[in-house]
Amino acid sequence: MKTEIKSHYDNLAAIYEDLWTYSEDFVFTISKQIIEQLELKESDILVDYGCGTGIYSKAILKQKSLQNDIICTDLSEKMLANLKSKQGFKIFVKDAIEFSKMNLKYDKVFIKEMIHHVKKGRQKIYENVYRNLNTNGIFIILLLPPKIEYPLFDMAMEYYEKSQPHFSTIEQGMKNAGFKVEMDFIEYPLQIKKEKYYNMIRNRYMSLLSQYSDAEIENGIRELEEKYIDNTFFSFKDKFVVLKGRK
């Protein structure tokens, strides 16, 4: 599974930001919310787990001056390549469990839409983050809810709803590790041209789409086109559950 995930993101690395950057305002708004949820201070040491190309860490640095480099970790070296030439980042090519075992101290940690990739060992991550966090540290996990509004074909949507971990399970795991946990939600209204969204699906912008063949993807797009034949745009809300753990 780990190899499949790495391969998926290695393949996406060159176009990842084009796929996920719906608009500058989207990235700005989500990163602003992350800053607020983390109660980020200039002196904090920040960790971005499963950072990908560092979309959100780069946006955070544009909004918040930090005295320390942001620690960015991802299992895909190709995803991290873009960050290596940029100032303000310290890079680790490691998966989340391996990184969590390292004896590092930090103040704030965020994981955005990565925790579902960890099928075994999530509890170890929570426990190791708790151990490494400085006093009064904050750890937030952003994940999609059990049901989403994304325009996906039925087979993909069914797979998502069966495989997406429920936020209550994540919340309990964080509590078991010692965190005091609060829950919140972030919403952002999206409007994406149909053809752009179909290309995103063809490029497997969501990792769950990587299991489908080109033929299955095209069949799925035809299904969506029949369903939304009168639409020029897809309009839907991107909604995230935010679990905020305090040490």
- Residue 234 is predicted with a pLDDT of 94
Return the CATH fold of 2-190+238-246.
Rossmann fold (3.40.50)
- Residue 101 is predicted with a pLDDT of 96
Percent of the chain with pLDDT over 90: 78
- Residue 17 is predicted with a pLDDT of 59
Both tokens of residue 172?
Answer: 């309990």
pTM of the model: 0.90
Taking alpha carbons only, the member of 117, 132, 100, 131 closest to residue 208 is 117
* Cβ atoms 110, 243 nearer than 8 A: no
Strand residue runs (E) in the chain: 46-49, 70-74, 89-93, 106-112, 133-143, 180-193, 233-246
Domain boundaries, the chain: 2-190+238-246
pLDDT in tens, 48-88: 999 988 999 999 999 999 999 999 999 888 879 888 888 99
